[in-house]
Amino acid sequence: MASYGFIIIAGAVAGLFAGHLMFRSDYCMVGMFRDLFLFRQASMLRFLILQLGLTLLLLELVRLGGGLSYDPPPLMKTANLSSVVGGCVFGFGMVLTGSCVVGCLYKTGAGNVLGLCAFIAMIVGATLYAEMAPWWKQVTQSWTLTQQVTVPATLGIPSWWLSVPLGALWLGCVAFWRRAEKLVIPARAEGYIQPWKTAVWLAVLTVVLCIFTGMPIGITTMYVKMGAWVEHLILPEHVAATAYFAGKGLNYVPPLTTQMVSGGAGPQMDAIAALQLSVILGILTGAFFSAKRIGEFHWIYRVPKIQYGFSIIGGLLVGLGARMAPGCNVWHLMGGVPFLAWNSFLFALGLLPGVWLGSRVLLSRLS
């Protein structure tokens, strides 16, 4: 129980900070990628690059200092092309719904009903994956590219051989953006937090979580568990007979503890719930109090009906794509890329055409 309590506290604190920061800076990953294709603008995408580069360097420093108990984290898988397909489905869906798996949370916390609809739809989409999981596993079992999880492991080199040159390139980009005054967004809104500050803090939070829980932020396995909890109330026999719900994908000893914990997608309170539910509740709470503090909490629901349709359809695809990958934009981009994980690069590779396709659909609706 002490192990669970420790990771629950760590996840909740990280979620509170993340919810507050992302809401106040409107740190939306959907907009970062969507605007690149819709408006040919990369002004917000540079903040994600700022975050990932800083995370990469901080992780390397902690790694060299012996501060990482797990490298790579336990839930990171070997390279498989399923991440490309899942990333494409995810990218298409997130553009339609206008939220990613964390964006819907901080928007819901601030009273955005579209965000709530997307949140619920993502849970449904992720839960539906349980029905197709055996088929998808059979289809993709021959898609494995390498048995190694990270690029350095595949090349047989220390991670710093890649982290140092990538970090130098990143520092050059940051220096250029700073000289060109491209790191500050003009804003007059009360309480607005500059996105570069959010990027820095999210990098720090990611590294702190890796030190104290052994893993970066993860969310969507908990979405499956939420759906499984509801389904268990209605169809308990079906849930019990579904192989995906019975699996225990996580078995590890959290850092600074001595007790083995485990978790899976089934409707149980376990290590996955401790790790991810705490983050989800933290983000919702952080965004709520942040919005209340500056008088911006309002239930916003008067929008065209078609937006609700897009939100629901897109949310279903986001939830489904996140499980097909497996993993979402938060897990892969904020966590996996700084670890130089193959699947995270493959996810990003699939994400781009998915975002492009979703942007074309939006443009067709506007024209």
Asked if residues 222 and 283 have their Cβ atoms less than 8 Å apart, the reply is: no
Give pLDDT, residue 347.
98
d(CA 61, CA 334): 17
Instruction: Give the residue from 270, 290, 254, 262 showing the smallest Cα distance to 110.
Output: 290
Q: Measure Cα distances from 312 to 115, 117, 124, 276 in Å.
A: 10, 6, 10, 23
Annotate 102-123 with b (16+ C-beta within 10 A) or e (fewer). bbbbbbbbbbbbbbbbbbbbbb
Average pLDDT over residues 170-189: 92
Cis peptide before 236 (omega within 30 of 0): no
In what helix (H) or strand (E) does residue 225 lie, and over which residues does it extend? helix 220-234
- Report whether pLDDT(366) > 90: no
Give pLDDT, residue 72.
95
Average pLDDT over residues 101-112: 96
Pairwise pLDDT comparison (256 vs 336), residue with the higher score: 336
DSSP conformation class of 28: -
Give pLDDT, residue 191.
86
DSSP conformation class of 216: -
- Report whether pLDDT(364) > 70: yes
d(CA 131, CA 109): 30
**Which tokens in the block code for residue 171?**
């520092």
Average pLDDT over residues 54-71: 97
Give percent of the chain above pLDDT 90. Answer: 90
Helix axes 220-234, 305-324, angle to 10 degrees: 100
Average pLDDT over residues 69-95: 97
SS3 at position 310: helix
- Report whether pLDDT(219) > 90: yes
- Report whether pLDDT(126) > 90: yes
**Which tokens in the block code for residue 275?**
């790790």
Question: What are 152-167's pLDDT values in tens digits?
Answer: 999 999 999 999 999 9
Give pLDDT, residue 190.
79
SS3 at position 127: helix
pLDDT band at 189 (very low <50, low <70, confident <90, very high): confident
Give percent of the chain above pLDDT 70. Answer: 98
Question: What are 6-57's pLDDT values in tens digits?
Answer: 899 999 999 999 999 999 999 999 999 999 998 888 889 999 999 999 999 9
Average pLDDT over residues 353-366: 90
Q: Scanning the structure block, which residue is given the tokens 């192989």?
A: 243
Q: Measure Cα distances from 314 to 93, 184, 218, 288 in Å.
A: 4, 31, 20, 24
- Report whether pLDDT(367) > 80: no
Give pLDDT, residue 243.
95
d(CA 187, CA 25): 10
d(CA 365, CA 367): 6
Asked if residues 133 and 244 have their Cβ atoms less than 8 Å apart, the reply is: yes
* pTM check: above 0.75: yes
Give pLDDT, residue 188.
67
- Report whether pLDDT(256) > 90: no
Give pLDDT, residue 35.
92
Question: What are 314-330's pLDDT values in tens digits?
Answer: 999 999 999 999 999 99
Q: Cite the beta strand spans of the chain per DSSP E.
A: 250-252, 261-263
d(CA 207, CA 198): 14
Q: Measure Cα distances from 2 to 111, 131, 255, 260, 282 in Å.
A: 34, 34, 12, 11, 20
